[in-house]
């Protein structure tokens, strides 16, 4: 997420050399995308991002201890070997 306005969220690629931008409404309904990525996708980063989002969402909405949520989600998702190596520790999720 790059910026949020009154009715729109603006995104840009995390790769600083890439010029792709996208817009959604405040409910995350996709509006448009501009440009093409100048790099290949990195599936490991996507897996890790999804993992972090799930752990954080559960930590906010449940009273389950965070280490338990972390362990349950790590066991539940099917991570590649590279993703497992790059997975943040429980302390790094903050």
Domain ranges of the chain: 3-34, 43-93
What are the backbone dihedrals phi and psi of residue 7, each rounded to the nearest 5 degrees, phi first? -130, -5
Spatial strand order of the sheet with 8-12 comes to 3-4, 8-12, 21-25, 30-34
What pLDDT is recorded for position 81?
Answer: 65
Per-residue model confidence as pLDDT tens digits over 11-60: 999 888 999 999 999 999 999 999 999 988 887 888 888 889 999 999 99
What pLDDT is recorded for position 42?
Answer: 83
Q: Is the pTM of this model over 0.75?
A: no
Per-residue model confidence as pLDDT tens digits over 47-81: 888 889 999 999 999 999 999 998 899 888 877 66
């Amino acid at each position: 997420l790059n910026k949020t306005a009154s009715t729109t969220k603006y995104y840009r690629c995390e790769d600083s050399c890439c010029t792709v931008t996208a817009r959604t409404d405040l409910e995350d309904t996709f509006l448009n995308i501009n440009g093409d990525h100048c790099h290949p996708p990195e599936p490991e980063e996507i897996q890790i991002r999804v993992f972090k989002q799930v752990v954080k969402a559960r930590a906010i909405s449940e009273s389950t201890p965070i280490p338990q949520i972390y362990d349950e989600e790590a066991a539940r998702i099917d991570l590649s070997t590279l993703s497992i190596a790059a997975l943040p520790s429980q302390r790094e999720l903050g």
